[in-house]
Every structure is written in structure tokens, then in C-alpha cells.
């Protein structure tokens, strides 16, 4: 994790093990996240984020501050991807980590969906995008407890989900 390297450069004792222990998540939590790709519960991620001095969504999505702040592409045009990612980070932070523990594939789906919306006419406003992101997170949260097979059936029958074109019927 780059943030651990930054803390060490500032003279702090920030090994993966030390940060995990200071966060109260057990000595190997960060190592497990990196090597096994395990996604810890929201509370553990929130504790690690606090020790590292970063926000929960940044840590849980892997969307870095550099990406969020890079608003232009190589040609000097506004970077749509950076705008979308920063919008998602902002909205999910506003909704709060306790309510949403979204898996990375769902976050990737959110980014793809919002990117698609930005290609449509008329162009959605940032407020529209924020509402759509919040809606997707709420839909996920509402159906998260359902078994996967039931989830797909329920989403296929959800008119709001279909109206927004947010469900890939081939999956």
C-alpha cells in the first residue's frame, strides 16, 4: 500500500502488521487483503482507513487521490473517468460505510453504468449522476441479503432498475 510507504517516509512505524494491529483487525489483515484478495467487512476497512489517514471509500475501492484529482486527459480535456470515479467516491462517502459494503465487481459495474450515461444525450448533471449512484447503491443494499439466483430474478422484475438500463440480461 502506497500510503504505508508514505507514513514510513514521514518517520512513522507503519508496517502492514503494525497498521493492522493499530486498527484492531488482527496482525495479518492488510497482508490478506493484498495477497489473497480478501475483502474485509466495512468496519475493519474503516478502522484501517482511520489509522492510515485516508477515507473509507478510497481504501475500499482503490480509487486513489491522484486519480480523483486528475481531471484532464493527455489532450487537456476533462477526464470523464476521473469525474465518474470521484463522483462515486463522494456519494458513497456521503451515504456512509456502515450502510454500504459494496464488492469491487459491483463498484466496477457502477463505474461502467455511469460512464455509459455520460455518453448519452442530453448529458446528465453531476446531481443526476449522484442520484443514480445513490440509487444503485440502495438497490444493491436492498437486495444484498438475497441469494444470488433470487437477486437476479428480483432485479429483472424491478421496473426502476430496467428503466435505467442497469441490468445486463445476459449475466
Q: What is the pLDDT of residue 56?
A: 67
Where in the sequence is the domain holding 18, given as residue range(s)?
A: 2-54
pLDDT in tens, 61-103: 555 555 544 545 555 555 556 556 666 666 666 555 544 555 6
CB 1 within 8 A of CB 33: no
Q: Which of 9-23, 58-72, 95-109, 147-161 has the highest mean pLDDT?
A: 9-23
pLDDT of residue 62: 55
* Residue 72 within a domain: yes
Q: Same structural domain for residues 94 and 152?
A: yes
Q: Is residue 37 part of a domain?
A: yes
Q: How many domains does the chain have?
A: 2
Q: How many percent of the chain have pLDDT more than 90? A: 0
19 and 75, same domain (yes or no):
no
First and final C-alpha spacing in the chain = 33
Any domain includes 169: no
Which residues, 6+ apart, have CB-to-CB distance to 164 below 8 Å? 113, 132, 135
Instruction: Tell me phi and psi for residue 78, to 5 degrees.
Output: -60, 135
Residue 124 shares a structural domain with residue 149 = yes
Same domain? For 14 and 87 the reply is no
Q: d(Cα 165, Cα 109) in Å, to the nearest integer?
A: 12
What mean pLDDT is predicted for residues 22-51? 78
Q: Is residue 62 part of a domain?
A: no
Q: Write down the mean pLDDT value for the chain.
A: 65
96 shares its domain with 133: yes
Q: Which of 54, 75, 98 is the last residue of a domain?
A: 54
Residues 7 and 74 in one domain: no
Q: How large is the average pLDDT for residues 131-151?
A: 62
Which of 8-17, 19-28, 115-124 has the highest mean predicted lDDT (pLDDT)?
19-28
Taking the model in full, what pTM does it have? 0.41
98 part of a folded domain: yes
The rounded distance, in Å, linking the Cα atoms of 27 and 21 is: 5
**Among residues 11, 26, 54, which one ends one of the domains?**
54
Mean pLDDT of all residues in 14-28: 86
Residue with the larger pLDDT of the pair 171 and 150: 150
H or E, element range at 12? none
Residues 23 and 86 grouped into a single domain: no
- Confidence bin at 6 (pLDDT 50/70/90): confident
Amino acid at each position: 500500500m502506497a500510503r504505508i510507504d508514505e507514513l514510513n517516509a514521514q518517520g512513522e512505524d507503519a508496517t502492514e502488521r503494525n497498521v493492522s494491529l493499530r486498527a484492531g483487525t488482527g496482525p495479518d489483515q492488510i497482508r490478506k487483503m493484498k495477497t489473497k484478495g480478501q475483502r474485509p467487512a466495512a468496519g475493519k476497512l474503516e478502522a484501517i482507513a482511520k489509522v492510515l489517514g485516508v477515507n473509507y471509500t478510497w481504501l475500499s475501492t482503490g480509487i486513489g487521490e491522484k486519480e480523483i484529482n486528475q481531471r484532464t486527459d493527455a489532450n487537456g480535456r476533462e477526464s470523464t473517468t476521473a469525474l465518474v470515479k470521484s463522483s462515486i467516491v463522494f456519494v458513497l462517502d456521503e451515504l456512509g460505510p456502515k450502510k454500504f459494503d459494496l464488492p469491487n465487481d459491483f463498484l466496477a459495474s457502477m463505474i461502467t453504468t455511469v460512464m455509459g450515461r455520460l455518453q448519452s444525450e442530453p448529458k446528465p448533471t453531476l446531481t443526476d449522476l449522484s442520484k443514480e449512484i445513490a440509487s444503485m447503491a440502495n438497490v444493491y443494499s436492498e437486495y444484498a441479503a438475497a441469494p444470488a439466483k433470487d437477486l437476479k430474478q428480483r432485479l429483472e422484475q424491478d421496473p426502476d432498475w430496467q428503466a435505467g438500463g442497469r441490468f445486463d440480461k445476459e449475466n
